[in-house]
């Protein structure tokens, strides 16, 4: 493209690692660079897929030399799995919060969407990563997300089983409904992240649609008649 001498900024974009004052025990510092690698990757993943992410880029942004990467992960795939775990921890924290005050279904939906909204805005990188790589990913990363998300849906199914309208539902049907809800929430997350322009009005339109969508699903559930 341009005729600049430097192709890519050298090391001025480092995240943590060596730049941070060298304090703490050996283990602590190792843990910190490991986190720096994950942070760097997560940041780079804002505009590109995990598949098109190079080891060198990540280490450069993290502020370490390429070969030092292997002190923390055996491969990029392993980094990816670590990212899945980190992001899923965020997701689980979110559902725990949403679960903390059980009310009537209508208010609960609104409260849940509000909780989702706040978590998406607070942890955009995590949600972007999960939604991007859920289908777009490859190999270990995609598999890890699929597994975790299925587990996540199972937990939700257990919660759903406590509602009166759903008392007579089969486990399979509860699972189906839980997965539909999870997929809907992931779609909402994508819409929030990809939203343009980014103003209050747009956000309210998206969350409003999300509420309607969930309400539609719940209404469907209330009037469900299981048959062949």
* Contact set with DNA (CB under 7 A): 1, 6-8, 17-18, 22, 25-27, 29-30, 33, 54-57, 63-72, 75-76
List the one residue out of 83, 205, 191 whose CA is nearest residue 145.
Answer: 83
* 25 touches, from its own copies, DNA, none (C-beta below 5 to 8 Å by class): DNA
* 8 touches, from its own copies, DNA, none (C-beta below 5 to 8 Å by class): DNA
Q: What is the DSSP letter of 20?
A: S
Which residues, 6+ apart, have CB-to-CB distance to 165 below 8 Å? Answer: 221, 222
Q: How far is the CB of 3 from its own copies (least distance, A)?
A: 20
Q: How far is the CB of 28 from DNA (least distance, A)?
A: 7
CA angle 131, 128, 135 (to 5 degrees): 25
Q: How far is the CB of 8 from DNA (least distance, A)?
A: 4
- Cα separation, 228 vs 121, in Å, equals 42
* 21 touches, from its own copies, DNA, none (C-beta below 5 to 8 Å by class): none
Chain centre distance of CA 136: 14
Helices (H), 16-123: 26-44, 55-62, 76-99, 105-122
- Tokens coding 35: 């986190």
**By C-beta, is 126 or 132 nearer to its own copies?**
132
- Tokens coding 26: 């050996």
* 12 touches, from DNA, its own copies, none (C-beta below 5 to 8 Å by class): none
Q: How far is the CB of 212 from DNA (least distance, A)?
A: 43
Residue ranges binding its own copies (CB under 8 A): 47-49, 51-52, 131-138, 146, 173, 176-177, 180, 183-184, 187, 190, 194, 209, 212-213, 215-225
- Cα separation, 121 vs 116, in Å, equals 9
**By C-beta, is 11 or 195 nearer to its own copies?**
195
**By C-beta, is 53 or 193 nearer to DNA?**
53
**By C-beta, is 16 or 146 nearer to DNA?**
16
Q: What is the DSSP letter of 168?
A: T
């Amino acid at each position: 493209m341009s005729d600049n001498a430097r192709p890519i900024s050298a090391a001025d974009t480092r995240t943590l690692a060596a730049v941070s004052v060298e304090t703490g025990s050996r283990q602590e510092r190792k843990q910190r660079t490991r986190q720096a690698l994950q942070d760097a990757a997560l940041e780079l993943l804002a505009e590109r897929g995990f598949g098109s992410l190079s080891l060198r880029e990540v280490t450069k942004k993290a502020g370490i030399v390429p070969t030092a990467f292997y002190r923390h992960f055996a491969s990029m795939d392993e980094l990816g799995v670590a990212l899945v775990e980190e992001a899923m921890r965020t997701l689980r924290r979110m559902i725990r919060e949403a679960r903390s005050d059980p009310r009537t279904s209508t208010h609960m939906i609104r409260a849940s969407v509000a909780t989702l909204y706040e978590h998406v805005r607070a942890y955009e990188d995590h949600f972007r990563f999960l939604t991007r790589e859920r289908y777009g990913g490859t190999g270990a990363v995609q598999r890890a997300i699929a597994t975790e998300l299925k587990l996540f849906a199972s937990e939700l199914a257990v919660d759903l089983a406590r509602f009166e309208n759903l008392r007579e539902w089969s486990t399979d049907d509860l699972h189906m409904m839980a997965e539909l809800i999870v997929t809907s929430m992931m779609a909402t997350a994508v819409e929030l992240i990809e939203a343009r322009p980014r103003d209050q009005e747009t956000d309210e339109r998206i969350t409003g649609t999300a509420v309607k969508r969930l309400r539609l699903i719940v209404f469907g559930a209330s009037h469900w008649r299981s048959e062949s």
